[in-house]
Amino acid sequence: MKRQARQRIAVTGASGLIGSALVRSLRADGHEVLRLVRRPAGRADEVEWDPARLYVDAAGLAGVDAVVHLAGAGVGERRWSEAYKKEIRDSRVLGTRAVAEALASLAEPPAVLVCGTALGYYGDTGSRAVDESAPAGEGFLPSVCVEWEAAAAPAEAAGIRVAYARTGLVVAREGGAWGRLFPVFRAGIGGRMGDGRQYWSFIALHDEVAALRHVLDTPSLAGPVNLTAPEPVTNREVTAAMGRVLRRPTVCHVPAAALRLALGEFAGDVLGSQRVLPGRLLESGFDFAFPTIDEAVRAAAR
């Protein structure tokens, strides 16, 4: 894919799984990257922000061509207490509002804001395939996603192209939900979760970064864009693929009741089904390097 000329791009969540991979990719192609950090900026490539206080050093963003906003508390990192659910919501809604308002205040706003959101927007779709035209689902995560995306309104009002990158489960060893699966399957104790019929909409880390850059570089992409591979698979199929690629048995089974006991409310999302298609990515000409689950797992296992 043809890359644009050297740009100045700001990234929140730059130390996370996706953010760090994106920063490496952008810098490798000669772009200048500014990282938003939650402390006083100590380097030329840092900009201070504090999403809880709705603070961004807007002056540090002067002259940026684009912003990729990826920050937010990890959904599956802790059991969902009411306090942690508030942290999940606030980290996304307040963070997005802070970024959007800071960009809107600039004399020369950037051309584009890519706001990383999630396929959680659609809720449990069962076996029904959905694309960006589907409405929001019901429950905690869909409600968070709706507020999350709405918080970018000040940037849209300022004339900035805003794209909502609704990301699926990222297949990577380095972190995220899949990063916790690899050690289990390598040890030969991996297996299906619940009945295994729930759909998992996944995307290889390489394709996630490439898709974010594609959205940055494609002026027609505004509004929701699903970042997920074109062939969602069931948890049973994920289990089989992990076994094939890692050459390990996958006879273990985690019953739904055990997941609910261990994970509490979050278990409903682990056991829920999301069969989501990347309609707008495909329509805009994006090519997946690792479109199937076997290819994605193999790429991550290297």
In this structure, is residue 1 part of a structural domain?
no
Domain count for the chain: 1
Strands (E), the chain: 8-12, 32-37, 46-50, 55-56, 66-69, 112-118, 129-130, 161-167, 169-171, 191-193, 199-200, 202-204, 223-227, 233-234, 252-254, 275-276
Mean pLDDT of 147-161: 98
In this structure, is residue 38 part of a structural domain?
yes
Give the length of the chain: 302
Q: Domain limits at 189?
A: 8-301
CA distance 231 to 175: 22
Cβ(11)–Cβ(56) below 8 Å: no
Average pLDDT, the chain: 93
Q: What is the pLDDT of residues 32-87, one digit of tens each?
A: 999 999 999 999 999 999 999 999 999 999 999 999 999 998 887 778 889 999 99
- What are the structure tokens assigned to 245, written together? 């690629």
Going by the DSSP 8-state scheme, the letter that residue 265 receives in this structure is: G
What are the CA-CA distances from residue 173 to residues 178, 179, 262, 296, 300 (Å)?
Answer: 7, 4, 23, 11, 6
Write down the pLDDT at residue 266: 65
Other C-beta atoms within 10 Å of 150: how many? 12
Q: Please, what's the b/e burial string for 216-250 (b: 16 or more CB within 10 A of its CB; e: otherwise)? A: bebeebbebbbbbbbebbbbbbbbbbbbebbebeb
In this structure, is residue 30 part of a structural domain?
yes
- Lowest-confidence segment of 27-36, 199-208, 257-266, 290-299 by average pLDDT: 257-266
Facing residues of 8 across strands? 32
Q: Which of 278, 279, 216, 236 is nearest to 66 (CA)?
A: 216
In this structure, is residue 151 part of a structural domain?
yes
Cβ(204)–Cβ(290) below 8 Å: yes
pLDDT for 194 beyond 70: yes
In this structure, is residue 167 part of a structural domain?
yes
In this structure, is residue 76 part of a structural domain?
yes
In this structure, is residue 3 part of a structural domain?
no
Calculate Rg over the CA atoms of the chain. 19
Mean pLDDT of 145-174: 97
Q: What is the pLDDT of residues 4-31, one digit of tens each?
A: 689 999 999 999 999 999 999 999 999 9
CA distance 16 to 159: 29
Whole-structure pTM value: 0.95
- What are the structure tokens assigned to 189, written together? 């104790």
Write down the pLDDT at residue 1: 44
CATH number at residue 53: 3.40.50.720
Cβ(78)–Cβ(19) below 8 Å: no
In this structure, is residue 2 part of a structural domain?
no
What are the CA-CA distances from residue 118 to residues 188, 201, 232, 249, 282 (Å)?
Answer: 30, 11, 15, 31, 18
